[in-house]
Amino acid sequence: MVKSTDRGEIRRVKGNSRYRILIYNDEYYVIDIGSSILRNIFPFLFWILRNPGFKIDRDVFLQLTIHQKIDLSNSVRYGAIGTGIATTFSGFLLPLTDLSTINSSLYLNIIITILLTGILIWAFLFLMHKQKQRLKRNIDFTYLTTLEIRTSRPKFRLIIRTAFLYLFALAFSVVCLLAFITESNLYILFVGLLLLFLFLNANGAALDHGKYKIDIK
C-alpha cells in the first residue's frame, strides 16, 4: 500500500499547452490552466489560488501522456496567427516608405498598437478554445465532477525561471510597443507582439513538470 502524501507530480499533456496532468496518491487528475485570463496575466496565482480540475482514470491518463499524437503544427499555426495577422494588417493601415519605417502620426500609431494588441489577445484566446475542444475528444466532461486543486510550493528554480520569463516578456514587450508608437518602426512592432505572445504563455512555465504541494477540494 502506497503511503499518502501531500505532494503530487505535474506532467504536461502532449500536444496541448492548456492542460496539465496531476499524479497524486496514485490517482490522476487533469487541470485546466487556461480557464482564467487573470492567471494568464499573473501566472504566480497558480501557486496561490485553486485551479479547476477533473479526476480521470489511468486509461485516460495514458492516452493523454503517451498515446496521444502530438500535433505541434496546429499549436504553432494558431499561436502565430495573432502576430501574423497583426503585422500583415499593419501594412494596410499605414503608408510604408521602406521595409521598416513608416510615416504616421503619434495618435495613429497608438490606435494601431491597441488594435493589433487586441488581435493578438483574440488569437491567444482562440488557441485556448481550440485546445479545450481537442481535449474533449479524449474526455467527456459531462459526467465528471469539477474539483478545485491548489498546487503550491514549487521548486525555487521554477519560481526564478517563471519570474524571469514573465518579467522579461512583459518589460520588453511594453518597451517595444512604446518604441513603435514613437519611432514608427515595423520591426520593433513585430518584436513587441512576439514578446507579448510569450508573456501570455508564461502561465505554462508556472505549472511545469515537477513536484508540488497539493490540496484538493
One-letter-per-residue 3-state SS of 129-167: HHHHHHHCCCCCHHHCCEEEEEEECCCHHHHHHHHHHHH
In the chain, the DSSP E strands lie at 7-13, 16-24, 27-32, 51-56, 146-152, 210-216
* Sole residue written with cell 480521470: 56
C-alpha cell recorded at residue 151: 498546487
The pLDDT profile of the chain, 217 residues, written as one tens digit per residue, is 344 568 889 998 888 888 999 999 889 999 988 888 888 788 888 888 888 889 988 888 888 886 444 444 444 454 455 555 555 545 554 444 444 566 778 888 999 999 999 999 999 889 888 888 888 887 877 777 788 998 888 888 888 888 888 889 899 999 999 999 998 888 889 899 999 988 888 777 888 888 898 988 8
pTM, to two decimals: 0.74
Give the angle subtended at the CA of 42 by the CAs of 203 and 109, to the nearest 5°: 100
CA distance 96 to 91: 7
